[in-house]
């Protein structure tokens, strides 16, 4: 052993040792004390930076911590390997996606190892490999057979730059979440998963997710967006020319049916189903058609912008308000979305948007709610009244409190057959087809005789062809491969053509956590028994950016697979931890951003590991702040973590002979003098606090600061050969525990020092220390003395002192006498173990 902390020598050695001894291989049959710790599998983009590292370092710390508690921990890793970047690289450089992806995987695997992050690589999954995507395709077919995968033509989000469609979830503020291009609407035939069938269950079961952060649950609730309201049918006033309509009514959805008697017009979405037929041959037809065409040109961004003025045109048609019997004009407006029924009733007096629209187009306004002060007068209003009140001018409902009227009027509509209570969700079906190469081919065949036919199980996987061009044309590159496209119908054997679209990569990641349990199993997608034994996942760790997309899709898939009878549980993740992003000031504009190449603020771990070692990078990453919060990377603060590890190393080195010689000594409270008793107390207080910090909220940063405090206390202890046996015993115990306590964070140095202290068997087999309760006891305690809430002194009292004794000591204290002079003592509050407050006045 040497004075200098030899991180570069010990780290590769221990990494090799963990590898050789299969320290992280998990026997799936041992489930007595199982713990499934899952980290979100990465996209193999090339190189990991320290921002990515936070995820794996936190995960590895949890895995090691749980192992030391005796759990049989499963910690697998894999690769979310399909996706656009590899394909874009292929377009640029000509390197086939699979080749570049596998190369990246190899690099990243080495990086994880260099961090000391260990996984059971026997269970590795790679979503772009046929042994994996065969089963993604198989699952697609299961959804197809259940009617949960369907194809339809609809307006979809189209990214012109990626030349592919996007799911709603992948459009952020009207922009493509990959390349920031403005997303446009295009009418295309696309594949969808019917996630809306599961909307209510996905919403209800959020309540079951006790181990999830509240904010993630809120985001999911918002995204699902349930709203309760009433659907009301307005009968269409027949056309003057006697031509018949396809539908004789217009239904609208409203959450404020209580205001319906103030409805003075209706507005239809430009995409409303029968709109074109409704206006055919009318004088307004031309204008309406022009309006529809203009609206279609609007990008999502335009349409969602606040500043955009609401526009509309009159259709020439009328419908009857069933509550008043009055006809109201039908308009078409660009602010009405195909949500609910695609038609809204407009109540300008009580809705801000309708007010603005009515004022602009000079439409009538009618009050149907009177405020509690009964002071609403239309001619004096300059905005809509959206508050509560009494129904007014509302026929038999006049005088009813409006909140009660919602129920009453919904019931009335139901009884009379022109409406009903309805629930609407904001959630749309999940668009999963992509016109791109690097994804799992959708296993469907088009046969002239049989139509759409799923590929037979025995013919899976439908392999991605390799003889294709990667140019983005808006059509799938798979179409260019005749060998791929031409096939025979699985049903009748006639010549047929394959579906050329591939699946969204989020499909691959929606079930990978199940596949780890039988990654090499060629006979089935899911091993029911293994899954039921090991799932739900005990702890899932990943980035907050997946709060909606991945986590919602994974929940959906779990429910579908549950309904297929393949697993017994219907929520995948018991506890979820979302770590905050690591940010750094950009080299370009000095602003704080999430680490990314494009912002020029990436810190590469390789150099840091070379200069300070992996343990330092790990310790700093965990010490940087509360792990759920964003953190700013500070290069100079890394030094502090290095100094601390070097200090532990040095301390063991300095006392190595003494530490080895005292190996057989055992701390005995009864024989301790004060200094070692104090250190022994500090040690046990630390064990208690650290365990608490890690068990609860993963507060690694406070756990580490507690180890630092303990180390400070150890350093204050003077020790040499002449010290008592108890002093030596406690010193050794404290040093040993520091090593054990820090081992989940800095495993290499812990292993090495553990060995230096004469232990055989790795530190993972060391048990996590337990608090010796008796050691926490104090004979005397210091208490703060307050007068009127201000600290004026300190007293030391026997820990067994009664309240009365403490009070007596307090009032005779010099400082208290001084500060209460001329006042009468009204009250004395004793907070056991903390302080005494004398209230005087």
- Which residues 611-650 are close enough to bind RNA by CB under 7 A? 623-626, 629-632, 634, 636-637, 639-641, 643-644, 646-647, 650
Tell me which residue of 511, 516, 596 sits closest to 550, measured CA to CA. 511
CB of 86 or CB of 554, closer to RNA: 554
Both tokens of residue 558?
């779990």
CB of 643 or CB of 671, closer to RNA: 643
CB of 39 or CB of 269, closer to RNA: 269
- CA–CA separation, 721 vs 657, rounded Å? 9
Check binding of 105 to RNA (CB under 7 A): no
Report the residue from 17, 106, 187, 308 that binds RNA according to the rule CB under 7 A: 308
- Please state the closest distance from residue 611 (CB atom) to RNA, in A: 12
Check binding of 705 to RNA (CB under 7 A): yes
CB of 252 or CB of 766, closer to RNA: 252
Check binding of 796 to RNA (CB under 7 A): no
Pairing of strands 502-503, 539-543: unpaired
- Please state the closest distance from residue 80 (CB atom) to RNA, in A: 20
For residue 171, the surrounding DSSP H or E stretch is strand 171-172
- Our CA angle for 134, 139, 144, nearest 5°, is 125
Task: Name the segment binding RNA (CB under 7 A); options: 128-136, 453-461, 463-471, 790-798.
Answer: 790-798
CB of 192 or CB of 438, closer to RNA: 192
- CA–CA separation, 831 vs 152, rounded Å? 70
Contact characters 550-569, RNA, x per CB under 7 A = --------------------
Both tokens of residue 730?
């406690």
What residues are paired with 34 via a beta bridge?
72
CB of 171 or CB of 450, closer to RNA: 171
Check binding of 397 to RNA (CB under 7 A): no
Check binding of 581 to RNA (CB under 7 A): no
Report the residue from 792, 807, 811, 825 that binds RNA according to the rule CB under 7 A: 792
Check binding of 823 to RNA (CB under 7 A): no
- Find the binding residues for RNA in span 512-551 (CB under 7 A): 547-548
- CA–CA separation, 471 vs 92, rounded Å? 9
Check binding of 293 to RNA (CB under 7 A): no
Check binding of 342 to RNA (CB under 7 A): yes
Task: Name the segment binding RNA (CB under 7 A); options: 76-84, 449-457, 673-681, 694-702.
Answer: 694-702
Task: Give the 3-state secondary structure percentages of the chain, helix then strand then coil, rounded to 5.
Answer: 40, 20, 35
Q: Are 42 and 80 in contact (CB under 8 A)?
A: yes
Torsion of Cα atoms, 432 then 433 then 435 then 438, to 10°: 70
- Please state the closest distance from residue 36 (CB atom) to RNA, in A: 27
Q: Are 816 and 838 in contact (CB under 8 A)?
A: yes
How many amino acids of this chain bind RNA (CB under 7 A)?
A: 83
Check binding of 607 to RNA (CB under 7 A): no
Contact characters 220-249, RNA, x per CB under 7 A = --xx-x-x-x--------------------
Report the residue from 108, 166, 266, 269 that binds RNA according to the rule CB under 7 A: 269
CB of 494 or CB of 814, closer to RNA: 814
Query: 151-161: string of b/e by CB count within 10 Å (b at 16+)?
Result: beebebbbbee
Task: Name the segment binding RNA (CB under 7 A); options: 377-385, 522-530, 583-591, 833-841.
Answer: 833-841
Check binding of 421 to RNA (CB under 7 A): no
Check binding of 784 to RNA (CB under 7 A): yes
Check binding of 361 to RNA (CB under 7 A): no
- Find the binding residues for RNA in span 151-190 (CB under 7 A): 172
Pairing of strands 72-74, 34-39: parallel
- Please state the closest distance from residue 527 (CB atom) to RNA, in A: 35
- Please state the closest distance from residue 828 (CB atom) to RNA, in A: 9
Backbone angles phi, psi at 653, to 5 degrees: -60, -45
Check binding of 657 to RNA (CB under 7 A): no
Q: How many helices (H) and strands (E) does the chain have?
A: 27, 34
Query: Could you tell me the CA-to-CA distances from 751 to 9, 60, 499 in Å, in that order?
Result: 13, 15, 55
Cβ neighbours for 713, distance < 8 A, ≥ 6 positions apart: 678, 679, 682, 683, 734
Q: Are 236 and 248 in contact (CB under 8 A)?
A: yes
Report the residue from 207, 214, 241, 607 that binds RNA according to the rule CB under 7 A: 214
- Please state the closest distance from residue 2 (CB atom) to RNA, in A: 13
Check binding of 306 to RNA (CB under 7 A): yes
- Please state the closest distance from residue 346 (CB atom) to RNA, in A: 8
Please state whether 262 falls in left (phi above 0), alpha (psi between -120 and 50) or beta. alpha
**For helices 97-114 and 84-93, angle between their N-to-C axes, nearest 10 degrees:** 120
Q: Are 543 and 509 in contact (CB under 8 A)?
A: no
Report the residue from 486, 712, 765, 802 that binds RNA according to the rule CB under 7 A: 712
Report the residue from 201, 310, 656, 755 that binds RNA according to the rule CB under 7 A: 310
Check binding of 250 to RNA (CB under 7 A): no
- Please state the closest distance from residue 186 (CB atom) to RNA, in A: 18
Check binding of 334 to RNA (CB under 7 A): yes
Task: Name the segment binding RNA (CB under 7 A); options: 42-50, 214-222, 457-465, 599-607.
Answer: 214-222
Task: Name the segment binding RNA (CB under 7 A); options: 197-205, 510-518, 676-684, 701-709.
Answer: 701-709
Check binding of 802 to RNA (CB under 7 A): no
- Please state the closest distance from residue 563 (CB atom) to RNA, in A: 27
Check binding of 727 to RNA (CB under 7 A): no
- CA–CA separation, 205 vs 200, rounded Å? 8
Backbone angles phi, psi at 181, to 5 degrees: -75, 155
Task: Name the segment binding RNA (CB under 7 A); options: 55-63, 71-79, 192-200, 784-792.
Answer: 784-792
CB of 253 or CB of 540, closer to RNA: 253
Cβ neighbours for 728, distance < 8 A, ≥ 6 positions apart: 658, 661, 662, 665, 719
Cis peptide leading into 722, omega within 30 of 0?
Answer: no
Torsion of Cα atoms, 409 then 415 then 419 then 420, to 10°: 80
Check binding of 597 to RNA (CB under 7 A): no
- Please state the closest distance from residue 491 (CB atom) to RNA, in A: 40
Both tokens of residue 63?
């895995």
Report the residue from 236, 783, 806, 810 that binds RNA according to the rule CB under 7 A: 783
- Please state the closest distance from residue 735 (CB atom) to RNA, in A: 15
Q: Are 334 and 311 in contact (CB under 8 A)?
A: yes
SS3 string of 315-372? Answer: EEEEEECCCCCCEEEEEEECCCCCCCCCEEEECHHHCHHHHHHHHHHCCCCCCCEECC
- Please state the closest distance from residue 639 (CB atom) to RNA, in A: 5
Cβ neighbours for 770, distance < 8 A, ≥ 6 positions apart: 687
- CA–CA separation, 573 vs 403, rounded Å? 39
Report the residue from 701, 756, 757, 759 that binds RNA according to the rule CB under 7 A: 701
């Amino acid at each position: 052993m040497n004075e200098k902390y030899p991180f570069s020598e010990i780290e590769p050695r221990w990494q090799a040792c963990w590898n050789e001894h299969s320290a992280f291989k998990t026997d799936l049959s041992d489930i007595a004390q199982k713990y499934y710790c899952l980290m979100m599998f990465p996209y193999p983009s090339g190189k990991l930076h320290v921002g990515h590292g936070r995820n794996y370092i936190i995960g590895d710390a949890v895995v090691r911590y749980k192992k030391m508690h005796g759990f049989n921990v499963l910690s697998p890793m894999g690769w979310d390997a399909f996706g656009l970047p590899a394909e874009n690289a292929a377009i640029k450089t000509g390197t086939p996606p699979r080749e570049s992806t596998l190369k990246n995987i190899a690099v990243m695997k080495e990086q994880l190892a260099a961090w000391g992050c260990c996984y059971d690589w026997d269970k590795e999954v790679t979503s772009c490999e046929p042994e994996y995507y065969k089963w993604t395709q198989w699952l697609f077919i299961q959804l197809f057979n259940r009617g949960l995968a369907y194809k339809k033509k609809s307006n979809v989000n189209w990214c012109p730059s990626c030349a592919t469609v996007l799911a709603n979830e992948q459009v952020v503020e009207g922009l493509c979440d990959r390349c920031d291009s403005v997303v446009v609407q295009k009418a295309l035939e696309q594949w969808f998963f019917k996630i809306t069938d599961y909307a209510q269950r996905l919403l209800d079961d959020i309540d079951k997710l006790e181990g999830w952060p509240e904010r993630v649950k809120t985001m999911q609730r918002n995204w699902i967006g349930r709203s309760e309201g009433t659907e009301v049918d307005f009968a269409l006033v027949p056309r003057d020319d006697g031509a018949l309509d396809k539908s004789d009514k217009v239904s609208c959805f409203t959450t404020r049916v209580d205001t319906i008697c103030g409805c003075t017009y209706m507005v239809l979405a430009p995409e409303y189903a029968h709109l074109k037929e409704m206006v055919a041959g009318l004088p307004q037809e031309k204008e309406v058609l022009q309006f529809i065409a203009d609206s279609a040109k609007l990008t999502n961004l335009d349409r969602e912008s606040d500043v955009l003025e609401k526009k509309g045109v009159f259709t020439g048609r009328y419908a009857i308000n069933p509550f008043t019997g009055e006809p109201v004009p039908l308009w078409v407006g660009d602010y009405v979305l195909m949500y609910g029924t695609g038609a809204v009733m407009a109540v300008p007096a009580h809705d801000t948007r309708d007010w603005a629209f009515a004022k602009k187009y000079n439409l009538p306004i009618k009050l149907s709610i009177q405020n509690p002060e009964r002071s609403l007068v239309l001619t004096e209003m300059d905005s809509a009244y959206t508050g509560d009140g009494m129904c007014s001018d509302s026929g038999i409902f006049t005088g009813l409190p409006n909140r009660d009227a919602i129920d009453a009027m919904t019931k009335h509509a139901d009884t009379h057959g022109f409406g009903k209570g309805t629930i609407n969700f904001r959630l749309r079906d999940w668009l999963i087809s992509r016109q791109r190469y690097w994804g799992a081919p959708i296993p469907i065949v088009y046969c002239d005789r049989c139509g759409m036919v799923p590929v037979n199980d025995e013919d899976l996987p439908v392999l991605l062809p390799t003889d294709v061009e990667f140019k983005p044309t808006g059509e799938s590159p798979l179409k260019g491969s005749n060998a791929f496209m031409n096939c025979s119908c699985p049903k009748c054997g006639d010549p047929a053509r394959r579906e050329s679209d591939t699946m969204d990569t989020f499909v691959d990641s929606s079930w990978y956590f199940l596949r780890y349990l039988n990654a090499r199993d060629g006979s089935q997608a899911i091993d029911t028994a293994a899954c039921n034994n090991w799932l739900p996942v005990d702890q899932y760790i990943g980035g907050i950016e997946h709060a909606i997309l991945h986590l919602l899709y994974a929940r959906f898939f779990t429910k579908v697979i549950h309904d297929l009878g393949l697993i017994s549980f219907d929520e995948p993740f018991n506890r979820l931890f979302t770590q905050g992003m690591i940010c750094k000031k950009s080299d370009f504009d000095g602003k704080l951003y999430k680490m990314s190449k494009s912002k020029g603020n990436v810190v590469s771990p390789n150099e840091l590991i070379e200069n300070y070692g992996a343990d330092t990078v790990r310790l700093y990453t965990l010490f940087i702040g509360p792990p759920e919060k964003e953190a700013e990377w500070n290069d100079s603060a890394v030094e502090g973590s290095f100094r601390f590890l070097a200090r532990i190393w040095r301390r063991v080195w300095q006392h190595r002979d003494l530490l080895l010689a005292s190996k057989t000594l055992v701390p005995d409270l009864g024989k301790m003098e004060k200094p070692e008793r104090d250190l022994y107390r500090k040690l046990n207080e630390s064990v208690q606090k650290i365990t608490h910090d890690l068990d609860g909220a993963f507060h690694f940063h406070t756990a580490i600061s507690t180890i630092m405090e303990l180390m400070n206390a150890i350093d204050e202890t003077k020790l040499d050969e002449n010290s008592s046996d108890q002093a030596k015993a406690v010193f050794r115990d404290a040093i040993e525990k520091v090593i054990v306590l820090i081992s989940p964070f800095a495993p290499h140095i812990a292993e090495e020092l553990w060995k230096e202290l004469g232990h055989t068997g790795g530190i993972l087999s060391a048990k996590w220390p337990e608090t010796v309760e008796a050691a926490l006891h104090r004979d005397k305690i210091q208490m703060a003395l307050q007068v009127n809430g201000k600290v004026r002194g300190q007293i030391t009292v026997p820990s067994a002192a009664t309240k009365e004794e403490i009070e007596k000591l307090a009032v005779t204290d010099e400082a208290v006498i001084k500060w209460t002079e001329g006042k009468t003592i009204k009250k004395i509050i004793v907070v056991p173990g903390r302080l005494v407050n004398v209230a005087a006045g």
